[in-house]
Amino acid sequence: MRRWGAWILLVGAALIWLLHTVRLKLRQTPQGTPCPGPGAVELPDGTFTFRLDPAAFRAEFPQLQSYRCRELIPGDGVCTGPPGPPLLLLAVKSHPASSARRATARRTWARPGVLGGYRVRAVFLVGVSPEPRDMALLEEESQEFGDVVLWDIGESHHNLSLKERCFLRWVGARCGQADFIFKGDDDEFVNPPALVAYLHQTPNAAHVIHGNIQCHAVVFRGGKYRVSSALFPQDTYPDFPAGGGFLLPRVTVPALAAASERIPVFPLDDVYLGFLVLAAGLRYRHDDRFQVYGMKDELCLYGEAFVVHGVLLDRAEEVWRGLYEERRCNGMGPFPS
């Protein structure tokens, strides 16, 4: 009986080991799908190999694959001017209807100026709206402030990836002198003084992408961020910076733009950037101060953060005044003009 018991235990252990091996293998390869067809892109990251089949992307999101970036407002004056301090460009995704958000940003964190040895300048990245009034107001803003780039992209959740791709082209053509680019949204509080201090304090800041890095995030099969198994059969994504806010050094832009010419346009903009980063062979630096998922609503915590996502307009103005005009937290000074 003892021999039978030992034999059963040995067989059980072998079966457990075999099951674990099979599960691990399944995680690293697409499940229940044929081998990718001709032209498929394979991107290994050292843990997984991610496969993108252009045919699947053309079938499910043809408009993302066929669109060619066409500027209606080129924003060609955003980065012009005489030589001066290095440029920190705040590139902000916005909607034509969000004029109040852009106005708040221009009064607070997106105002142009020189800060800590950097020239700070904002540009708002916008698609088209079917509302004529929104488009007329946007045209007026562009004429007054000169800080708008408008593409003939319809505003939608999936089309944010096209803004990512078109922005990389725009930077290469019209703003190649930007030393660092902060990418974010217009419903945020952004902290340029903290960003500039971070750039001064971080060794080799110009050689990595900075953000709140999501490591092998799970693929959602339902809801707003749904991705079908036919489009992307694997159950995890490559690492990517959360889209609420991250920093790109100038040296990364040409490699990302080149990758965007051969990688299918993924329908989630932050994941799409992750694929581009992997294809370009670039590296990340994670920092929790990119508070892209919100934080406790305390004034001095805003002073430590680089970006806080989802901040109401009135609150963004209150925070800016408290930090940089009334100086209600230690170490906070005025934003230079």
What's the CATH number where 212 sits?
A: 3.90.550
Mean pLDDT over all residues of the chain? 89
What local confidence, expressed as pLDDT, does residue 330 receive?
A: 73
Residue 14 lies in a domain: no
Residue 33: which residues within 8 A CB-CB, separation 6 or more?
A: 229, 233
As a whole number of angstroms, the distance between CA 99 and CA 128 comes to 13
Residue 73 lies in a domain: yes
As a whole number of angstroms, the distance between CA 314 and CA 291 comes to 19
Angle between helices 313-324 and 99-107 (to 10 degrees): 0
Residue 45 lies in a domain: no
As a whole number of angstroms, the distance between CA 259 and CA 237 comes to 17
Residue 86 lies in a domain: yes
Residue 66 lies in a domain: yes
As a whole number of angstroms, the distance between CA 311 and CA 293 comes to 11
As a whole number of angstroms, the distance between CA 292 and CA 310 comes to 8
User: Between these two residues, 77 and 277, which has the higher pLDDT value?
Assistant: 277
User: Between these two residues, 15 and 138, which has the higher pLDDT value?
Assistant: 138
List the single range of 79-88, 165-174, 276-285 with lowest mean pLDDT: 79-88
Residue 333 lies in a domain: no
What local confidence, expressed as pLDDT, does residue 92 receive?
A: 98
What local confidence, expressed as pLDDT, does residue 335 receive?
A: 55
> In the chain, at which residue ranges do the beta strands (DSSP E only) sit?
41-44, 49-52, 71-73, 87-93, 113-115, 118-128, 148-154, 178-185, 188-190, 209-214, 240-249, 284-286, 290-291, 307-309
Tokens matching residue 118: 């950097």
What local confidence, expressed as pLDDT, does residue 1 receive?
A: 43
What local confidence, expressed as pLDDT, does residue 294 receive?
A: 75
Residue 42 lies in a domain: no
Q: How many domains does the chain have?
A: 1
Q: Which helix (H) or strand (E) holds 139?
A: helix 132-145
As a whole number of angstroms, the distance between CA 292 and CA 85 comes to 28
Mean pLDDT across 286-302: 91
Where residue 334 falls among pLDDT bands split at 50, 70, 90?
A: low
What local confidence, expressed as pLDDT, does residue 288 receive?
A: 95
Mean pLDDT across 226-230: 97
Q: Nearest-5° angle of CA 336, CA 77, CA 292?
A: 55
> In 55-203, at which residue ranges do the beta strands (DSSP E only) sit?
71-73, 87-93, 113-115, 118-128, 148-154, 178-185, 188-190
How far is residue 214 from each of residues 193, 208, 241, 289, measured CA to CA in Å? 25, 15, 6, 14
**Taking 70 as the threshold, does the pLDDT of residue 166 lie above it?**
yes
The DSSP output letter for 162 is H
- Residue given tokens 């930007």 in the structure block: 178
What 3-state DSSP class applies to 135?
Answer: helix
As a whole number of angstroms, the distance between CA 105 and CA 333 comes to 19
- Residue given tokens 């009135």 in the structure block: 314
Give the domain range for residue 236: 59-324
**Taking 80 as the threshold, does the pLDDT of residue 48 lie above it?**
yes
Mean pLDDT across 55-64: 98
As a whole number of angstroms, the distance between CA 183 and CA 180 comes to 10
What local confidence, expressed as pLDDT, does residue 12 receive?
A: 46
pLDDT tens digits for range 203-226? 999 999 999 999 999 999 999 999
What local confidence, expressed as pLDDT, does residue 167 receive?
A: 98
Residue 208 lies in a domain: yes
What local confidence, expressed as pLDDT, does residue 38 receive?
A: 65
As a whole number of angstroms, the distance between CA 98 and CA 307 comes to 19
Mean pLDDT across 322-327: 92
Where residue 37 falls among pLDDT bands split at 50, 70, 90?
A: low
Classify residue 290 as exposed, middle or buried by CB count within 10 Å of its CB (0-12, 13-18, 19+).
Answer: buried
List the single range of 17-26, 81-90, 269-278, 324-333 with lowest mean pLDDT: 17-26
User: Between these two residues, 121 and 334, which has the higher pLDDT value?
Assistant: 121
Mean pLDDT across 3-21: 42
pLDDT tens digits for range 68-102? 999 999 999 899 877 889 999 999 999 999 999 99
